[in-house]
Amino acid sequence: MTRSSIKKYQQSSVSNVADADPHTLISIIFQHIINNNTIAKGAMEREDIEARTKAIDKSIALIGELQDSLDMEQGGEVSQNLAALYDYCVRRLVESNAKIEPAMLDEVSKLIAEVKEGWDAIPQEARDQHATKQAKPED
């Protein structure tokens, strides 16, 4: 019965992601980074090298997705600051894995949580304006 529930959750999660707007997808990525860091921290405590490395690799890949989503032309200083933050987070994750240092995972999770909080606080009206602007072809 538990496996059935898990499959239903996974299927609903996949359909939610498929239907999600770009803003929601970024928020989901933030949450997955935090979750993977928690998994990696638990793996460190259990001395499970494979699980630790897999979770940290997932976090790094997700941060790469965030980096790729930055619009350096239109984003200006905000995009530059986020790019620097994401680069720092990747370095800390690599260092955390090499040194088996859970405090570094916590640091990255805290930084990502702060960015997520700001991202999630963007008003719906601003999201809609941005989506409309993106949908219009340039003249």
Model pLDDT for residues 108-132, shown as the tens digit of each residue: 999 999 999 999 999 988 888 877 7
Contact between 19 and 31 under an 8 Å Cβ cutoff? The reply is: no
Helix (H, G, I), strand (E, B) or coil at 44: helix
For 28-120, give the CATH class.
mainly alpha
Identity (one letter) of the amino acid at 126? Answer: A
14: pLDDT strictly greater than 80 = no
> pTM for the complete prediction?
0.83
Amino acid 8: pLDDT: 47
Q: Which residue would you say has higher pLDDT here, 104 or 8?
A: 104
